[in-house]
């Protein structure tokens, strides 16, 4: 008989996303007001090599960590999208499903981006975030990002300043 193992003790697996993850990514993003919102086409383009290099990572539970099958729904817990503008990276979006927050998933995804940035000999990683987004700002500050400025009324609906962060890698 299979043992009941507490779900909270399972470590989510961080892996590269595939086009089969797009519908799950969009579902997660749409349920999250503070996420950056992209069209399905923009997500699909992130997997096309049009000269622009993007890193798309997802976190899923070990139970779902079988190799991605085209058309399958991998049922992801979280995702991250980042743009490589050599010699820099920009974090464009990071979302963790509400039920899996405060368990270190966001930090693991972000540290995977930082490791990738180091491997690609990058100078820095930068990002912008709504001023009121305390959870995200706290995550960025914990992982070493420093505030570099602000853009007044950068966001709409509702209007709000963006706070700019940078993490130097040199």
Ligand X SMILES: CC(C)(COP(=O)(O)OP(=O)(O)OC[C@H]1O[C@@H](n2cnc3c(N)ncnc32)[C@H](O)[C@@H]1OP(=O)(O)O)[C@@H](O)C(=O)NCCC(=O)NCCS
Residues that bind ligand X (CB under 6 A): 32, 34-36, 93-96, 101-107, 129, 133-136, 138-139, 142
Task: Check 92, 128, 155, 165 and give the catalytic one.
Answer: 128
- Told to judge if 107 belongs to the known catalytic residues of this protein, a careful annotator would answer no
Instruction: Between 72 and 84, name the residue whose CB sits nearer to ligand X.
Output: 84
- Rounded to an integer, what distance in angstroms lies between the CA atom of residue 114 and that of residue 145? 11
Is 68 or 82 the residue whose CB approaches ligand X more closely?
82
Active site residue 154: no
Residue closer to ligand X (CB basis): 52 or 134: 134
Q: Distance (Å, rounded) from C-alpha 94 to C-alpha 14?
A: 13
Q: How far is the CB of 4 from ligand X (least distance, A)?
A: 24
Beta carbon of residue 165, minimum distance to ligand X (angstroms, whole number): 11
CA 167-37-157 angle, 5° bins: 100
Q: CA–CA separation, 141 vs 119, rounded Å?
A: 22
* 3-state secondary structure (DSSP) of residue 80: strand
> Cβ 91 to ligand X, closest distance in Å?
8
Residues 6+ apart with CB under 8 A from 88: 122, 123, 124, 125, 126
Catalytic residue among 43, 140, 155, 165: 140
Catalytically active residues, by annotation: 128, 140
């Amino acid at each position: 008989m299979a043992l009941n193992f507490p779900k909270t003790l399972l470590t989510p697996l961080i892996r590269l996303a595939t086009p089969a993850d797009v519908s799950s990514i969009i579902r997660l993003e749409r349920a999250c007001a503070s996420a950056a919102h992209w069209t399905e086409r923009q997500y699909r383009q992130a997997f096309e090599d049009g000269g622009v290099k993007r890193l798309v990572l997802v976190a899923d539970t070990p139970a779902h960590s079988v190799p991605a099958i085209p058309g399958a729904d991998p049922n992801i817990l979280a995702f991250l999208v980042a743009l490589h503008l050599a010699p820099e990276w920009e974090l464009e979006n990071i979302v963790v499903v509400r039920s899996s927050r405060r368990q270190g998933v966001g930090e693991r995804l972000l540290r995977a981006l930082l490791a990738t940035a180091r491997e690609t000999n990058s100078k820095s990683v930068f990002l912008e975030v709504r001023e009121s987004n305390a959870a995200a700002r706290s995550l960025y500050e914990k992982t070493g990002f420093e505030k570099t400025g602000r853009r007044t009324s950068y966001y709409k609906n509702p209007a709000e300043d963006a706070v700019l962060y940078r993490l130097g890698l040199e």
